[in-house]
Every structure is written in structure tokens, then in C-alpha cells.
């Protein structure tokens, strides 16, 4: 049995474009001798379609798109494609198609409603399990979350005799998720004594990135095939269902259980059983290291955001610091350096080293730069406000004026030339509010919004190592972080060192640990309480930030939803007693 996993990059709402992509992949798979061709979850409408699902016209067009795809599936071939099914209510569904006919519509049973997922808002849970019978062999079909839980349709299909469990998915990326997903699928394969065939979506959709990384595991839980990460791929693999039968004849445990409800069996007429002379070789693609995964996710997410929205050129402020440098590298790879402009906006506090580093970086990338000093505008602001500010010491007001002048400059380039502004604040800064509204936060897309500062450094070093040269000058990697908005300013004057700050932020934001739990991990209680207070106070700022790409397990925005008006905080025990 030759199976093709068509790991394609769909676009939400581009129904006919998605169908065209699927047809192209189908033709390639059939030419390669595949008898079963699997596509990602919600192939036709794209994932996640969100409130487009409230529009009857969108649902109807999705059904027409499915019919168009079905007409392209030859007799003897089976295609499994995701779509939205309307049957009294709305379902996240998988169509099983052969010979121009939709043989069966499987409805997803486990609807995720956590993190970035909100499927209960749109869909009804399905019921039952489905199996295809193809010339004696049986294949169980499920959708994404259905395979993440022990039991459910996968168990029912295995107990019902399926030797292959086929799962179509749209599993979004965050760092290290791919390794966790492989472990889970391996356990499902070995527990049920079946092949597990997992076809995942690839591509960027707003703040989400889907990493592809489709895989196949044998009945012992061994990885036998893996598609590429972060790019489209067609993975072909030959499966041998008789091996599953042999294993079951020697394994008595499944005989102790019976499915609560026997799966529905769908016969596939005239299934093509002969294989072409070319074998579906077992291709196992290498995985990126963690820093490489993050970098490729950022590149894919930014590139797809531009391509799918019809944008062509980006502009960003280049300060000579680590964050804007990484933002520029990502933009240059995602869009091409000819489509990225860096704007140097020096002030009286900008060191000559920062100007030099920014220029060297741009030269290394081959991108255009413009230089617009902010001194004249800053002097004009000071003169305008001199009477109002008379007798008062300089403070954050003067610092933020500089940041907002820079925000105005890059937005002026955007308005004049139609370029999209990329903001380059990292997750550490966004967490504690170490950023300026309408200043460095201004922009249409926040490239590294979900990348902690310490990870920014690691990714930058990865870029230089993988390129075999100093794309990012060493001086940028070794200089002390500073906003350079006042004489002698350093980040550590306002925040704990990032090596201390980032683990506290991860524990509080991603793991929901309280003061006691974080302090028990070895962090100073005063630092912990201070950081938590900063995070809570900055919620209103984050709500006004542009979207950015999710790479951690819990990103701000649709992933972590906290009220802005919120008086809860974890009190010091002594303070609580006093009250």
C-alpha cells in the first residue's frame, strides 16, 4: 500500500487556490504510484478559518471546492481531504474520495479549545469511527486532535481491525513541539500495533506557523518516514498491512478488549493495488536544532504573512542592537534583501559603534539603508514643551519622545512608499513593558514578539554558524544591551539580567507558576515579585502591539488572554496578615 502525504501550504479563504494546490499534489502522487493521498486538516477552506465560518456563502463555496477536488480523484485512488461539512450543524470534517465520488464524510470528534484553539466556537463534535476497506486491508481515518488522546477513534479503529491509522492535521508550531508530537505518535503506533500516518499542514497564518514535519511510524512505534520542516513536501511511503496482521497473531492483549461501537466500514471500489516500479522509499528528513527551528518558523511566518496579504516590501529601524539585527536577517531571508530597507535614526545618545554595527549588518545582508537623524525633531519637541516642562527633571518622557519620533519616521516611509513596518521588540521586553507605545512598538508586524531575549542571542549565533560567516557582526553579539535614550543607559539598570529575567517570565507566563513556585526554583523573591508586577501592569501595552509569530508554548494574544482591568496579585504572606 503506497501512501502519499501531501504536505501543502494552504491559505485561509483561498478556496480555489487551495483546491488547485491539492490537485497538483494529487497528480504528482498518482504519477508516483500512490493509492492513498492524504492532505492536511481543512484543506479546502484553510486553517483556521475563524469567523469566516459564520458566513453561509463561505461554507457553500467550501463545499463547491470539495466537489471540484473530488472530480479530479481517479478511480482506484483514495484521497483524504479536510473540509467544513454542514449537516444540520457545522463539522470539521475529512472527505474520503475515490473516482469522483465522496465515499464518506468523517466528522472530527475531539475539538480543541485551549491555547490558540477555539473550535467549540464553530463546530459540533462528531460521533463514531470510520475505516476504509481497500482490497482486504483496512485504514482508520481521523482528524488532528483525535489522535492526541489515548482511546477515541484510533483505539476503536485498531480494535476493529485497522492496520493503518491515517490522521490529517493542522498542528501549529512552537519550539520543541515537533519532538513531543513524534513521541506521542510513536506511543499510539506501538500501543495499537498499527502504522500511524500523520499528514500535517505547513505555512504561516497570521501569528501561527505550521511546521509540516509529517511522519509515519510502524506498528512497533519506530519512525520510518519524515517530511521536511517548514516547507511543502510530498512524502511517499510503502506500507505492508500484512505485517500488522502477523504482529496481531502474536499479541493477545487486543483480544481482551472490544470497541464500544464497531467502526463504520467504507468499501473502496476498484482500489488500485498494484504499485509502480518506483518504490516509495523511506525518506527521513533531518530536523533542525531548536534555534534553527525557531529561525525557520520566523522566516516562514513573516514570508507567508507578506505573500498571502499581497505585501512586497518591509522597512524597519536599524539600531545596531541585537533585536533589530535579527529582525533584519529574518526579513532579508523571508522577503529577499532587495525588499528590505533599514532606517538608521541616530540621536545625540547613539554611540558611533551602534551606527557602524548597523551599517555593517546591512552590508552583510545586501539590504538598502537610509539615515534620518532624529536630533532636529527632538530639539523641536524640547522647545515646544519647554514651558510645560520647566523646572522638571528629564525622565521617561524625553526618552519616549525619541522612540516615538523614530516610530513616526518609519511610519512615514510606510505611508509614502507602501512598505510594511516591522517592529523588533522581543518577548522579554514585551512581557515587562520595556517598550514605548507608538514608538518602538509601532508597526504592522512584530517579527520576534514571542522570542525571549536569551533565545534571540542563541538564534543569532545559530545564523552565523549555519552561514559559516559573521552575518551578524560579533560586536553586536557582545555589546551590553541598551536602548540608548539617555547617557550611559543599560537594560540592567531597569531590569534584572536577562539570564535571570527570562526563566522567571517563562515560569510565570507559560507555566502559570506563582511567587512561591518560582522562588522555590532558586530565584530571589524580590526579583520575582518585581517582574510579576511589571508583567501584570504591561497588559494594556501588549493589547496595542502588532501581531507576531508564536514560537513559545504560550504567546501573548490569542494564546494568553488576561484581563487588562485586573486587581488580582499574589500577596506577600506578611502583607496579607496585616490587612
Q: 423: closest CA among 432, 405, 433, 411? A: 411
Is-catalytic flag, 194? Answer: no
DSSP 122: T
Element (H, E) at 38: strand 36-38
10 within 8 A of 40, measured Cβ to Cβ? yes
Other C-beta atoms within 10 Å of 101: how many? 13
d(CA 294, CA 550): 10
Q: 397: closest CA among 410, 384, 412, 409? A: 384
Catalytic one of 21, 108, 333, 550: 108
CA 308, distance to chain mean position in Å, is 15
Q: 23: closest CA among 67, 59, 53? A: 67
d(CA 69, CA 57): 18
d(CA 406, CA 439): 6
**Cα pseudo-dihedral 244, 245, 249, 250, rounded to 10:** -20
Q: Which three cell numbers stand for residue 373?
A: 537623524
Is-catalytic flag, 41? Answer: yes
Spatial neighbors of 475 by CB under 8 A, at least 6 apart, are 353, 357
Q: 165: closest CA among 188, 181, 182, 184? A: 188
Q: Are strands 368-371 and 420-423 parallel, antiparallel or unpaired?
A: unpaired
Q: Which three cell numbers stand for residue 160?
A: 476493529
Other C-beta atoms within 10 Å of 286: how many? 8
DSSP 338: G
Q: 330: closest CA among 548, 546, 547? A: 548
Which stretches does DSSP call E strand in 54-136?
Answer: 78-87, 89-98, 101-107, 130-134
Q: Which residues pair with 97 in a beta bridge?
A: 79, 102
Is-catalytic flag, 145? Answer: no
351 within 8 A of 484, measured Cβ to Cβ? yes
Catalytic one of 21, 119, 144, 460: 144
Q: How far apart are the first and last CA of the chain?
A: 71
Element (H, E) at 420: strand 420-423
Burial status of residue 222 (CB atoms within 10 A of its CB: 0-12, 13-18, 19 or more): exposed
Q: 497: closest CA among 514, 480, 509? A: 480
Evaluated on CA atoms 261, 267, 271, 273, the torsion sign reads positive
Catalytically active residues, by annotation:
41, 108, 144
Amino acid at each position: 500500500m503506497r501512501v502519499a502525504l501531501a504536505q501543502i501550504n494552504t491559505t485561509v479563504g483561498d478556496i480555489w487556490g487551495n483546491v488547485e494546490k491539492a490537485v497538483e499534489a494529487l497528480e504528482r502522487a498518482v504519477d508516483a504510484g500512490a493509492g492513498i493521498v492524504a492532505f492536511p486538516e481543512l484543506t479546502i477552506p484553510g486553517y483556521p478559518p475563524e469567523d469566516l465560518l459564520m458566513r453561509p456563502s463561505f461554507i457553500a463555496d467550501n463545499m463547491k471546492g470539495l466537489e471540484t477536488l473530488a472530480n479530479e480523484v481517479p478511480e482506484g485512488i483514495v484521497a483524504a481531504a479536510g473540509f467544513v461539512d454542514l449537516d444540520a450543524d457545522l463539522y470539521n470534517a475529512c472527505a474520503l474520495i475515490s473516482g469522483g465520488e465522496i465515499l464518506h464524510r468523517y466528522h472530527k470528534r475531539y475539538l480543541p479549545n485551549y491555547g490558540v484553539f477555539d473550535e467549540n466556537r464553530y463546530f459540533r463534535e462528531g460521533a463514531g469511527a470510520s475505516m476504509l476497506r481497500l482490497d482486504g486491508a483496512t485504514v482508520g481515518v481521523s482528524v488532528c486532535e483525535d489522535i492526541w488522546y489515548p482511546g477515541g477513534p484510533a483505539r476503536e479503529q485498531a480494535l476493529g481491525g485497522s492496520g493503518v491509522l491515517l490522521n490529517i492535521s493542522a498542528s501549529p508550531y512552537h519550539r520543541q513541539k515537533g519532538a513531543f508530537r513524534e513521541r506521542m505518535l510513536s506511543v499510539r503506533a506501538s500501543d495499537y500495533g498499527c502504522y500511524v500516518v500523520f499528514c500535517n499542514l505547513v505555512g504561516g497564518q497570521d501569528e501561527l506557523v505550521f511546521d509540516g514535519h509529517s511522519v509515519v511510524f510502524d506498528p512497533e512505534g519506530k519512525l520510518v518516514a519524515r517530511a521536511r520542516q517548514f516547507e511543502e513536501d510530498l512524502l511517499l511511503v510503502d506500507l505492508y498491512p500484512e505485517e500488522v496482521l502477523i504482529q496481531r497473531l502474536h499479541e493477545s492483549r487486543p483480544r481482551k478488549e472490544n470497541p464500544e461501537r464497531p467502526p463504520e466500514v467504507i468499501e473502496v471500489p476498484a482500489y488500485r493495488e498494484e504499485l509502480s516500479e518506483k518504490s516509495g522509499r523511506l525518506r527521513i528528513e533531518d530536523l533542525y536544532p531548536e534555534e534553527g527551528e525557531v529561525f525557520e518558523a520566523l522566516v516562514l511566518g513573516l514570508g507567508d504573512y507578506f505573500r498571502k496579504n499581497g505585501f512586497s516590501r518591509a522597512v524597519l529601524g536599524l539600531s545596531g542592537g541585537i533585536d533589530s539585527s535579527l529582525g533584519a536577517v529574518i526579513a532579508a531571508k523571508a522577503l529577499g534583501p532587495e525588499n528590505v530597507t533599514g532606517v538608521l535614526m541616530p540621536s545625540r545618545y547613539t554611540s558611533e559603534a551602534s551606527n557602524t554595527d548597523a551599517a555593517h549588518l546591512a552590508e552583510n545582508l545586501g539590504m538598502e539603508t537610509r539615515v534620518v537623524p532624529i536630533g532636529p525633531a527632538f530639539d523641536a519637541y524640547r522647545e515646544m514643551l519647554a514651558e510645560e516642562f520647566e523646572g522638571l527633571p528629564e525622565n521617561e518622557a524625553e526618552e519616549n519622545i525619541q522612540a516615538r519620533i523614530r516610530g513616526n519616521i518609519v511610519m512615514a516611509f510606510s505611508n509614502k512608499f507602501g512598505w510594511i513596518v516591522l517592529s523588533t521588540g522581543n518577548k522579554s521586553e514585551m512581557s515587562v513593558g520595556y517598550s514605548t507605545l507608538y514608538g518602538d512598538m509601532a508597526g504592522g508586524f512584530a517579527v520576534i514578539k514571542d522570542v525571549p531575549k536569551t533565545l534571540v542571542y542563541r538564534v543569532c549565533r545559530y545564523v552565523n554558524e549555519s552561514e559559516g560567516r559573521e552575518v551578524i557582526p560579533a560586536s553586536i553579539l557582545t555589546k551590553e544591551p541598551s536602548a540608548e535614550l539617555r547617557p550611559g543607559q543599560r537594560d540592567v539598570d531597569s531590569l534584572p539580567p536577562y539570564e535571570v529575567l527570562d526563566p522567571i517570565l517563562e515560569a510565570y507566563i507559560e507555566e502559570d507558576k506563582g511567587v512561591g513556585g518560582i522562588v522555590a526554583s532558586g530565584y530571589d523573591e524580590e526579583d520575582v515579585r518585581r517582574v510579576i508586577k511589571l508583567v501584570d501592569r504591561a497588559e494594556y501595552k501588549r493589547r496595542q502591539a502588532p501581531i507576531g509569530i508564536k514560537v513559545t508554548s504560550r504567546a501573548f494574544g490569542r494564546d494568553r488572554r488576561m484581563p487588562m482591568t485586573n486587581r488580582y496579585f499574589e500577596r506577600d504572606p506578611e502583607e496579607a496578615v496585616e490587612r
